[in-house]
């Protein structure tokens, strides 16, 4: 893979907010716009961002149009998704990957947006970012300082160590950084989404009982390319899990089954405090995650 890195964001550049997944709250999106403008950025919205179609922001064609147009825009320098929810998987098979490859831009989101991020990497070689979103993180009067600082540092290529809380299985490994929201990743099963090279798997989720996490991890283990190419695993936060001990046992079992180094407690999360991480970049793993 010849990784394509987007240009850094500078003051005065334009940030475009789009909603490829769930329906948005207009007041919250407006507040996130004010947040970016106070920091010296220009802000524009996707054409269909305030529409509603069932539980999504707009119908598939409209959400796809906003995504493609944001990349095609000469004005837009960074694309920040509004929120997760559901909807990305419905347009994942309709993406025009030439657009992303020929017009590389910062593209950031997490949760349901994971489906778009890892497909862009797989099919376009575009480095994306798993990180905060407009409605979810930047609409508060005082957005979380930790989350905000990590976001602006990472999209400016100022990478720091990603530290864990617990070493699950000792060892070192290297590979590209790949992953995101576990349940969204599993929803891509049946498509060509696994990297063709060694990768360090980072993952997180929310409101999922341990037995479902178990099922999803084993679904991935059953994919030959996943077993072949996974080099290490960085477990993020699994908020509102039903049994912490079962979760820890599952994490140990996963690392042992694949015989790979592992650590947990990384700040990849649905919570208020979250680290932004570049997806597709090369890194080294040794209990910490170091971008190289």
Catalytic residues: 111, 204, 270
* Cα dihedral 163, 223, 110, 254 sign: negative
Q: Say how far apart CA 136 and CA 30 lie, in whole Å.
A: 12
Q: What is the 3-state secondary structure (H, E, C) of 239-270?
A: ECCCCHHHHHHHHHHHHHHHCCCEEECCCCCC
**Can you tell me which residue has the tokens 């106070």?**
38
Residues 274 and 147 sit within 8 Å (Cβ to Cβ): yes
Positive/negative CA dihedral, 203, 208, 211, 215:
negative
Crossing angle between the packed helical segments 210-221 and 244-258, to the nearest 10 degrees: 10
Cα distance between residue 77 and residue 104, in whole Å: 9
Give every CB contact of residue 88 below 8 A, 6+ residues apart in sequence.
20, 21, 112, 113, 114, 115, 116, 184
∠ Cα 264 265 268 (to 5°) = 105
């Amino acid at each position: 893979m010849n990784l394509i890195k987007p240009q850094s964001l500078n003051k005065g550049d334009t940030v475009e907010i789009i909603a490829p997944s769930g329906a948005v709250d207009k007041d919250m999106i407006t507040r996130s716009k004010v947040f970016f403008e106070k920091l010296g950025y220009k802000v524009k919205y996707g054409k269909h961002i305030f529409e509603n179609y069932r539980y999504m922001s707009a119908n598939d064609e409209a959400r796809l149009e906003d995504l493609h147009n944001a990349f095609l825009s000469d004005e837009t320098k960074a694309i920040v998704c509004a929120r997760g929810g559901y909807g990305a998987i419905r347009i994942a098979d309709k993406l025009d990957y030439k657009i992303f490859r020929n017009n590389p831009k910062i593209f950031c989101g997490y949760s349901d947006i994971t489906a778009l991020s890892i497909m862009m990497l797989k099919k376009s070689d575009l480095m994306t970012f798993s990180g905060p979103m407009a409605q979810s993180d930047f609409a508060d009067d005082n957005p979380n300082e930790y989350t905000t600082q990590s976001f602006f540092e990472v999209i400016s290529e100022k990478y720091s160590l990603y530290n864990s809380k617990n070493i699950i299985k000792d060892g070192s490994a290297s590979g590209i950084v790949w992953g995101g929201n576990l349940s969204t990743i599993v929803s891509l099963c049946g498509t060509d989404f696994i990297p063709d090279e060694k990768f360090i798997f980072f993952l997180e989720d929310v409101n999922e009982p341990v037995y479902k996490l178990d099922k999803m991890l084993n679904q991935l283990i059953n994919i030959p390319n996943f077993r072949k190419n996974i080099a290490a695993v960085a477990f993020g936060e699994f908020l509102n899990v039903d049994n912490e001990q079962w979760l820890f046992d599952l994490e140990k079992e996963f690392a042992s089954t694949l015989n790979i180094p592992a650590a947990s407690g990384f700040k990849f999360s649905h919570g208020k405090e979250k680290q932004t991480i570049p997806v597709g970049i090369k890194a080294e793993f040794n209990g910490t995650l170091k971008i190289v």
